[in-house]
Amino acid sequence: MTLIKLSYPKTRLKEDFRKMIEHRLYSIEKWIQGEQTENKILLCTPKCATMYMLKGYEVFDFHESLGMEPEQLCEHSHKQLLNV
């Protein structure tokens, strides 16, 4: 009788959960002399939203205002959902 050793790929499930990154839904607006020049709806990290604030954009956090839980994604992403 011969025993066959089965090998399964090593899962990285625990590691993937440790790398989860918080993403929130933001409205990003740019105003110049009372006129709106840019309006975007973004799903991005709080760090990314902070960079927009530092560049002079108005940032509104939908997740915080609606009491929603932030999205947890495996990678840094910057998804533009709407550009007006």
Q: Does pLDDT of 49 surpass 50?
A: yes
The 10s digit of each residue's pLDDT in 6-44 is 444 455 555 555 577 888 899 999 999 989 898 999 988
Burial environment of residue 39 by CB neighbours within 10 A (0 to 12, 13 to 18, 19 or more): middle
CA distance 56 to 50: 10
The per-residue pLDDT for 15 is 54
Closest to 44 (Cα-Cα) out of 57, 68, 28: 28
| 50-84 pLDDT, tens digit each | 999 999 999 999 988 888 887 787 766 667 776 76
